[in-house]
Amino acid sequence: MSQAQLALPGVVTETQAEWVWSEDSAEEMDVPDFVHETVMRAEVVAALAPAAGLYVDATVGGGGHTEAILEASPDAKVIAFDRDDQALDAARARLARFGDRVRLVKTPFGRVGDALSELGVENVAGLCADLGVSSPQLDDAARGMSFRREGPIDMRMDPSDGETALELIARLTDEDLANVIFEYGDERRSRRIARSVKRALSDNQLHTTLDLRRAIVRAVGPVRVGGVDPATRTFQALRIAVNAELDELSSLLGSLPEVLAPGGVAAILSFHSLEDRLVKRAFQQREQWEPLTKKPLVATEEESTGNPRARSAKLRAARRLEP
């Protein structure tokens, strides 16, 4: 089936929406709020220039970019992926007004090619990805991604799948753990930190995110370097490893030439240099891509002031050439 023929089932009927957006109704229903401020919304839409056709949002999160695509063209449809049920529930509630123009799929985006084939979709007119974690994932102590909140050392974007950060720490040798912290966190003091974390584990002192931060501080001291907490880099590294974030991104980038119709556009927002390097390299394949951004676009000063997360965002976009 081609993208133009695809009929999308309604979003609300798939499962019951549990999360809501309005604070009033959240209070009434005693459900958590899901608030994630969409980064570079206008720039992503400008790159995709939505028209009649089918688009993919590889990281629906709270639904901000999908909503922007659907608003930009009344004839656009979106298949939106996420691996986090809470994000999908939030997006389902937010996007319900678009009816069958949007379909939500729980799948890691590294599988986007297979997932589209399973849905009978040959290719799409555009794809966006807003990498990393959402604010609610960071803010919910139970997800274990923040060193500021006490929670289990989990860090999985999909809590129903795979190894937790604590299980990863237990499985890796000191040396392998140090390598993860060095490579994914760009942390010079990785060996000291790895030893201290493993010691805390063997002393039965590693149960929560605050225990993990304490073990890091024991290794490197409490001083904030450049305003950054000493645990920042190690937490980032463990999260990237637990969720295989770079492997996922590589698979997504590898499948783009098949997923996109000729002339289709990919717009990818990354938040650290490891991600951006992979995106830059993929779009440098000039026989496949016409870059739409010479240098990565960054958020306006106004957006960065209002949303600190936007400060590290880099947007690269490219058009798929005829094979």
Ligand X SMILES: C[S@@+](CC[C@H](N)C(=O)[O-])C[C@H]1O[C@@H](n2cnc3c(N)ncnc32)[C@H](O)[C@@H]1O
Contacting residues toward ligand X, per CB under 6 A: 36, 38, 59, 61-65, 81-84, 87, 108-110, 130, 132-134, 157, 248
Q: Shortest distance, CB of residue 315 to ligand X, whole angstroms?
A: 12
> Judged by CB, which is closer to ligand X: 197, or 240?
240
Kindly state the smallest distance separating residue 23's Cβ from ligand X, in Å.
17
Question: How far is the CA of 111 from the CAs of 34, 51, 195, in angstroms?
Answer: 26, 25, 35
DSSP E strand boundaries for the chain: 53-57, 76-82, 102-106, 124-130, 260-270, 289-291, 314-320
Nearer to ligand X, 36 or 320 (CB): 36
| Long-range contacts, stretch 188-192, CB < 8 angstroms, 24+ apart | 189/219, 189/220, 192/219, 192/220
Q: What is the bridge-based pairing of β-strands 53-57 and 124-130?
A: parallel
Taking the complex as a whole, the smallest distance from the CB of residue 309 to ligand X amounts, in Å, to: 8
How far apart are CB 198 and ligand X at their closest, in Å? 27
**In this complex, which beta carbon is closest to ligand X, that of residue 130 or of residue 187?**
130
Query: Measuring CA to CA, which residue among 273, 269, 266 is closest to residue 307?
Result: 269
Nearer to ligand X, 64 or 185 (CB): 64
> Where on the phi/psi map is residue 40: left (φ > 0), alpha (ψ -120 to 50), or beta?
left
**Nearest CB to ligand X, comparing residues 97 and 188:** 97
Smallest separation, CB 62 to ligand X (Å): 3
In this structure, which amino acid lies at residue 152?
A: P
First-to-final CA distance of the chain:
20
Nearest to ligand X of 197, 282 (CB atom): 282
CB of 233 to ligand X, least distance (A): 19
Nearer to ligand X, 132 or 230 (CB): 132
Q: CB of residue 70 vs ligand X: minimum separation in angstroms?
A: 13
Closest by CA to 314, choosing from 304, 323, 305, 302, is 304
Token pair belonging to 259: 């997923």
Distance CA 81, CA 84 (A): 9
